[in-house]
Amino acid sequence: MIASASSIPLSQSWTGLPNVRTTLNGWFRPLTMTKIIKQQEDFQLKEYFYDVKTNGVLQPFSPQQLSIKPEGQRSWIWQMLHATPDLVLKTDDQVIITGTKYRVMEKLDYKEYGYVQYNLVQAYQGDMP
């Protein structure tokens, strides 16, 4: 007899999310980025740069994902950063990855799956260190 999901009582069903961290570890690579912290000191905005090490991978947005971005932003580089949950960034944080400055536009928390995703957009290159 073929068993279907409808024959399994809810009390016996598996409700946890799969942790794909072990799978992602094969995909992730060591990643060092520079995080930019801005602070107001003596009525001037100062920038401090420090390195953050994690494991992760950058993935470009697909053409379909880019087409739904607000008009005028498609000329900027958009990337998805998939990383281990130890990387903590907030919306509007700025980071430098492989020489390109990005601004964090969105954080998607998939810690239950073993990773986090940040949507990044190329930031103004003005005063690069």
Range ranked top by mean pLDDT from 23-27, 66-70, 76-80: 76-80
Q: What is the average pLDDT score of the chain?
A: 79
Residue 97 has a CB neighbour count (10 Å cut-off) of 17
Confidence of residue 21 (pLDDT cuts 50, 70, 90): low
Q: Give the domain ranges of the chain.
A: 17-122
103 has a pLDDT exceeding 80: yes
Q: What pLDDT, on the 0 to 100 scale, is given for residue 77?
A: 81
Question: Is the pLDDT assigned to residue 55 strictly greater than 60?
Answer: yes
- CATH (residue range 17-122): 2.40.10.270
